[in-house]
Chains A and B, each alone.
Chain A
């Protein structure tokens, strides 16, 4: 143990500790269970507001006796663009049966199956004053080199009166990544997704 080694050890530990405490607000990991009468996630997934894109990784285990096909949707307002991918092998060698993911549906879920769905979520542009998703007929306004769009002259005027209050507003709200059984229409898993929550997700960053 030379003094140099001790210094390097402390420096490495300090950098590592800083890294361990860095949270990335553009991704979250939810762990849940799929159940016939309504499964749940271990905790809500928190994402910061104002990012261009988010990745939510949802892993879940199917609890017996549930079997069936489940459609996955992201529910909430304003509507977010959401693309779903199933984490499966590139070349399926057919060694083990597993649920098949097509379009937005998991087919042939069976007890004890484990699934991993990656949702890439893109928030829409919004009117920063009232929060409505931007439509074609919105009026636009330049401010500080950025372009903003408003549903009405009311919202535009409010913005002009107090741009600092509104300029950083981005899509946020409470969403649910919902798994719905296609045969019965029943929810088999609800994953709450909080867009705009800055409180740390209680999971210590255990996410992949």
Chain B
């Protein structure tokens, strides 16, 4: 009997690379298609998804909410991402985000022997350590991680610079720009699976992973059928976010999983599938 739950959703599993490429083409230079509707050319400006939710010491409430108005598209985007993740899992991160998508797609081109495997480092504590500082440091006046280390600024500007856009090029002529480029290269392009940056230091990813975990009981996620799993570990070897641990059987950490569904494809027993959480 054909399993209809995986059949109906297999579009997302089969065509993921093309969905990522389409998202890159729509959102990033040279087209910057969606941004041009709001007089922007990248995420900086009304689409900024990172700045509005971090409160700075001494900032008046009116100024804080003015930031929401300034980045109204970014606010809409983040709320949409968090809500959809709660019910459907982190499809924004796995399929739609052009920033994470660029890093993962780029990492596919990097030869295996050059790749760095970060899976010895547990990802959630790094992520929330970073995120705690992201939120608290500006609030108590101890600096800021917001714009100085921004994946949403760096990746679009890499595309812009590749098309000889002067301002995007200038981004990389300063220390902060070069450090960001280095972070994207080391934790993105050179990382096994291309998602170490997403897993460690994306504030959107950090919030999104919390929504993913909170909505676990209510929504659809990747599930392991314990009766089919033979603990071979094939799934955990392909997971770009090193979210699968083989204890007795495979167990998925929903703080880190984004439904890229590589594990589903890798499992010879068909033990992993996307769907309503059981139990």
Contacts and interface: CB of A to CB of B under 8 A. Distances in A.
Interface string B25-36: 000011111011
Contacts of B61: none
Contacts of B160: 90
Contacts, number: 160
B72 interface: no
Interface stretch (A13-21, A135-143, A178-186, A187-195): A13-21
A205 to B, nearest CB: 5
Nearest to B121: A8
A5 B167 contact: no
Contacts of B175: 24, 26-27
5 contacts: A55-B173, A87-B167, A88-B165, A116-B167, A205-B144
B45 A17 contact: no
Interface string B132-161: 111001100111111111100100000110
Interface in A53-87: 53-55, 83, 85-87
A4 interface: yes
Contacts of A114: 39, 45
Interface residues of A, number: 46
A120 B36 CA distance: 25
Interface string A31-53: 00000000000000000000001
A20 B163 CA distance: 31
Contact of A205 (B39, B48, B147, B173): B147
5 nearest interchain CB pairs? Answer: A12-B129, A85-B166, A20-B143, A90-B30, A16-B133
B167 A85 contact: yes
B45 to A, nearest CB: 6
Nearest to B28: A90
Nearest to B46: A114
Contacts of B173: 53, 55, 120
B37 interface: yes
Contact of B148 (A13, A24, A92, A116): A24
Nearest to B150: A208
B144 A55 contact: no
B145 A87 contact: no
